[in-house]
Amino acid sequence: MSVSSAGNGARQQVFVLVGGTGDLAMRMLWPSLAMLDQDGFLSDDLRIISVAREDCGTEVCVDRIGAAVTKRIGDALEPETLARLRKRIVHVALDAAHDDWGAKLKAELGDIDRLDIVYFLSVSPSLFKPICEHIERAGLNKAPNRVIIEKPIGRDLATSKIINDSVAHAFDEARTFRIDHYLGKETVQNLIALRFGNIVFEPLWNAQSIDHIQITIAETVGVGERLGYYDEYGAIRDMLQNHLLQLLCLLAMEPPAALSSDALRDEKVKVLKSLKPITAENVLTNTARGQYGPGFADGHPVAGYEAEKGSPSNTETFVAIKAEIANWRWAGTPIYMRTGKCLPSRSTEIVVQFKPLPHSIFGPEAVANRLLIRLQPDEDISLTLMNKAPGLTAEGMHLQSLDLSLSLVKAFDSNGDKPPRRRIAYERLILDALNGNNAQFVRRDEVEAAWNWVDGIVKAWTDTHMKPQMYPAGTFGPVSGYRLIERDEGRTWND
């Protein structure tokens, strides 16, 4: 299957990947483009321009891309896909520090009035401003051309505004696609279908029926080669401000009027603006900070964060937050979020814990219902229901919990069919950007509302001199992380 250039008449699409030889490009972006090509989602005449400072030449660059795609995709990759992708790619060596950046790219592009250009800036945010200035000076920013930018978009509200202002000078909001790859994951996308496509869930999706919600993003690896970046950002800025808060928004938002981009994003902004501030008065009970020390994680001995850095550090590698949303739907329902490095297992999951029965005729055997949404390592949705235990007993009826799996992959497996391929999250998001659909991208006011809330927590840590508590690598964070949820009687993490 093939498609024609999307949505812009006779214009030819060009995908300009700035940072085309970088780590993210090789691990995620080139494999995503290859699989979009293989599945027929790229127009026959789509050109791809790799831009980087490295002057390796197109032939060498394409060889490296081919090796990276083959390694990432494996047996699912068809030989003709790689051959077709190679023909699309041209590599251009450009340095954003040089004034001729835009002019050289323009010369490579050709007649820009006949093009529909999508720029993906897979580079440090410090380069967003000079690159957008080059694009604008060369006249390469005119509609319908658009830009995709990667996180982090700042390290606080002030720096976020500077970055957004620099991009906005070249591209208006409708043509600025801020990417959070979690929003491209199949199970995250399914949250909208699960909530708003089923009458069985929506009437119960509130404080009257739900006891609490847990959101966990656990990593087994340490900071590795990202230490320089991570020491400046920490877990709260690197993970909570974007991934965790985006998941929270999808779980807690009101039903949008439509699936349009503004309707969806309007509701997410309302959630972020309804989060109760965490201040110096409640930060010690509503947050936990940790930093991994010596231990054993991901199958390897770990020296500890400060030993890896070579000096003392106040950076948290673990953070847990008890959040509350001040609106009618969620008042009084806590949402516990945590993320950390060097933890025992790699997992991303959401637990929606329903309240127990107001009166159980079955005694303590009746366990409260629970919805478990797992994003990694495997994607799955399961609902715990109560069911009569089979068989006869002299004591009468007994109950047992039953996990009802809503996983599409498991449904295929049970029928003996081949399950659908698990897509790279970037595939969906790149395709949406090519088609001009920004519903699954983050709007500027979302970014700024999230930073406003996170900045309040960071300030409270500073005001109270709250330091990270050490936890051994390979454990589920510091003791304070457990106390955060366990001080609310009857609640524990789903470890």
> With contact defined as beta carbons under 8 Å apart, do 122 and 18 qualify?
yes
| Helix or strand run (H / E) with residue 306 | helix 305-309
Exactly one of 169, 243, 359, 398 is catalytic; which is it?
A: 243
Interior/surface letters 316-331, b for 16+ CB within 10 angstroms, e for the rest: bbbbbbbbbbeeebbe
Share in percent of the chain as helix, strand, coil (round to 5):
40, 20, 35
Q: What are the distances in angstroms from CA 366 to CA 94, 353, 373, 486? A: 65, 14, 22, 22
Q: Can you tell me the distance from the alpha carbon of 424 to that of 444, in angstroms, rounded to the nearest whole number? A: 25
Q: Can you tell me the distance from the alpha carbon of 424 to that of 413, in angstroms, rounded to the nearest whole number? A: 20
243 in catalytic set? yes
Q: Can you tell me the distance from the alpha carbon of 134 to that of 170, in angstroms, rounded to the nearest whole number? A: 9
Strand partners, 494: none
Give the contacts of 195 (CB within 8 A, at least 6 positions apart).
201, 202, 205, 251, 255
| Helix or strand run (H / E) with residue 485 | helix 479-486
Give the contacts of 284 (CB within 8 A, at least 6 positions apart).
464, 466
Q: Is the dihedral of CA 196, 201, 204, 210 positive or negative?
A: negative
Tallying the residues shown for the chain, one arrives at 495
What the block records as the tokens of 150 is 């990667």
Indicate the DSSP class of residue 150.
E
Q: Can you tell me the distance from the alpha carbon of 44 to that of 94, in angstroms, rounded to the nearest whole number? A: 27
Catalytic residues: 243
